[in-house]
Structure 1
């Protein structure tokens, strides 16, 4: 005999009050995603600017031109890569916002499902990103302590 999960027989009821909350959430998430797209664009432009123009400036008047050029290009590339990494959670948030608006307007369960799939992806990406950043900080701390200990 199969045992049914509690959630198999449970149907979620979305009342007008909750629809109002979701409508407000979609507006704020849309705003934040647009700000995120602008931020990503500025990061990429800053990376291009730092990599290209600082590299040209270093070529003009320094004795260590290749080192400075590589350093400038590395910093520029770092900004571009960070911008592209940050593009994914912003895109998930934007898709969530658009799908919630569509689900509320059309009363579509499929749009509602896809909206929350994108929200799940947004939070999953951000959670993994935070874990990676904390891990990098821990490794840097261990390396710094090891360097200090052995010097």
Structure 2
């Protein structure tokens, strides 16, 4: 069990039971989570194959005259995109884990599997939350940079 679960600030009830409606909602969420995770894994696989093809085919693309993008640029973009795809596998893995463990918890009426599925869901949303915070930070930095460069350009143009 994870330390955060054991030392939580919540008061632990003696027993938590889910109603049939709650079990139905959890089963539905688990099915959708598995579906979305599988579709995302397929999309990542197709995208990875496309990027690998682009990396190895970049030299053939740069044979034309007057090209604006070199083979090295395309290969660098392809490698960075592959790293991004690999990075995006982690939250999707957590989502798939949630769905499969929730299904096992419902089928076997297993509270341990229910805890594990909720832990996987927590990890998924924690990962997504961190990515959102990082994205907001980059957008804020871009806004500040844009304002500063705009002001400096206006001053230089005067």
TM range (shorter): 0.7 to 0.9
Shift, 1:64, TM fit: 7.1
Instruction: Supply the distance in 2 between the matched residues of 1:124 and 1:55 (Cα, whole angstroms).
Output: 40
Residues 1:137 and 2:102 aligned together: no
Aligned to 2:52: 48
Structure-2 change in CA distance of 1:94 and 1:76 (3 Å): same
Shift, 1:10, TM fit: 4.7
Q: What secondary structure does 1:61 align onto? A: coil
Report the number of matched residues: 145
Residues 1:32 and 2:60 aligned together: no
Q: Which runs of 5+ in 1 are unaligned?
A: none
Q: 1:99–1:114: 8 Å Cα contact kept in structure 2?
A: yes
Structure 2-normalised TM-score?
Answer: 0.82
Shift, 1:90, TM fit: 0.5
Instruction: Supply the distance in 1 between the matched residues of 2:101 and 2:64 (Cα, whole angstroms).
Output: 53
Instruction: Supply the distance in 1 between the matched residues of 2:151 and 2:58 (Cα, whole angstroms).
Output: 36
Instruction: Supply the distance in 2 between the matched residues of 1:124 and 1:39 (Cα, whole angstroms).
Output: 22
Shift, 1:46, TM fit: 2.7
Structure 1-normalised TM-score?
Answer: 0.85
Post-superposition Cα deviations, 1:101-127, rounded to whole Å, max 9, x if no partner, equal 101111111111110110000000000
Aligned to 1:61: 64
Shift, 1:11, TM fit: 2.6
| Cα RMSD, aligned residues only | 2.0
Structure-2 change in CA distance of 1:145 and 1:45 (3 Å): farther
Q: Which runs of 5+ in 2 are unaligned?
A: 1-8, 154-158
Q: 1:40–1:83: 8 Å Cα contact kept in structure 2?
A: yes
Post-superposition Cα deviations, 1:24-62, rounded to whole Å, max 9, x if no partner, equal 11111110111110121122223223322234311x234
Aligned to 1:109: 111
Q: 1:23–1:100: 8 Å Cα contact kept in structure 2?
A: yes
Aligned to 1:126: 128
Instruction: Supply the distance in 1 between the matched residues of 2:56 and 2:141 (Cα, whole angstroms).
Output: 31
Instruction: Supply the distance in 2 between the matched residues of 1:78 and 1:140 (Cα, whole angstroms).
Output: 20
